[in-house]
Structure 1
Amino acid sequence: MNLTQVVDTALKSFRHEIPEYVASGIVDMSTGMLLDADTVDEHPREILDVLAAATADLFQGRTVTQVEHMWRERRGLEPGAHHYFQEILVNSDSLIHLFLRSRHSPDIVAAVVCRLEANLGMLLAQARQVMRELDGAR
Structure 2
Amino acid sequence: MSLDKVLGAAQAEIPECVAAGYVDMVSGLLLGIRTVDSHPSEVLDLVAAATGDLFQGRNVVEIEKLFDRSRGIEGRAGHYFNEIVVFSTNLLHIFIRSRKNPDHAAVFVTRASANIGMVLVRSRASMAAAEAAV
TM-score for both structures, normalised by structure 2: 0.92
Larger mean CA deviation between 13-22 and 91-100 belongs to 13-22
Q: List per-residue Cα deviations over 1:92-129 (Å, max 9, x = no partner).
A: 10000000001111111001100001000000000001
Q: What's the offset of the Cα at 1:24?
A: 1.3
Q: Per the alignment, in what secondary structure is the counterpart of residue 85 of structure 2?
A: strand
Q: What's the offset of the Cα at 1:10?
A: 2.7
1:21-60 to 2 correspondences below 5 Å? 21-60=17-56
Would you identify which runs of 4 or more consecutive aligned residues in structure 1 move more than 3 Å?
Answer: 135-138
* Aligned counterparts of 1:47 and 1:95: Cα–Cα separation in 2: 16
* 1:115 matched residue in structure 2: 111
Q: What's the offset of the Cα at 1:12?
A: 1.6
Give the count of matched residue pairs. Answer: 134
TM-score for both structures, normalised by structure 1: 0.89
* 2:126 matched residue in structure 1: 130
TM-align CA RMSD: 1.5
Q: Unpaired segments of 5 or more residues in structure 2?
A: none
* Aligned counterparts of 1:118 and 1:89: Cα–Cα separation in 2: 13
- Percent of aligned positions with the same letter in both sequences? 49
* 1:8 matched residue in structure 2: 4
Q: List per-residue Cα deviations over 1:12-48 (Å, max 9, x = no partner).
A: 2211111011111111012111112110001011100
* Aligned counterparts of 2:74 and 2:84: Cα–Cα separation in 1: 23
Q: Unpaired segments of 5 or more residues in structure 1?
A: none
Q: What's the offset of the Cα at 1:9?
A: 3.3
